Structure 1
């Protein structure tokens, strides 16, 4: 009957929408990684003199890297919090829109929220660590 064709159309539209969302999410994650790496790279060059003085004074590599990792982690934590808030609001809004269609209300998936937080923190931090490691090996 007509219900099955409507379900098929809705399924196809939802599938395409999911593909677009995953593509955009992937591009945004790649952008976050590149942004963090470039940011740390620029900060390393901006503070090259201070880093050289710290190394001459005998500072360990972790002492030199610490401020840069904190500088990446703080915005990453803010991004993680913002992504969770936006997800909760968006899922609530979509659930209210779907209610008149007879679809069950839902909340954000815990797995999605955990993945968002992990990606928001781990990806920029990993980019910063890689950038710092590359800088340390080129300095020697």
Structure 2
């Protein structure tokens, strides 16, 4: 029990820290935000933080940093950020720009995901991830 409480508090502290460094996350309502699985997120620092902000400015959408080696399908669908926020629809030029930035973050084990600006909350059952969960029999 005490270990679970510690894990919950650690997760909340990490998520709070993320909101400071990645301001768009403050737009996600607390009841949704604090239920997210943070094991996939990276708290960007130094050059990675700078690259994230630069890409956000250049691409015109919000950018989140993720661990490139992690995609947790063992958690409930709605605990994924990509299941509750609309992804950005990118032009070919924006995709090329994203790939350019990811070429600089991937060596550090970091992937970049682009979310629609203005931020749009979606029903997790309308996300691209829902179909993936269904195909795998995870729902």
* TM-score normalised by length of structure 2: 0.30
Per chain length, whose mean CA-contact separation is higher, i.e. which structure has more relative contact order (CA < 8 Å, sep 6+)? 1
TM-score, length basis structure 1: 0.30
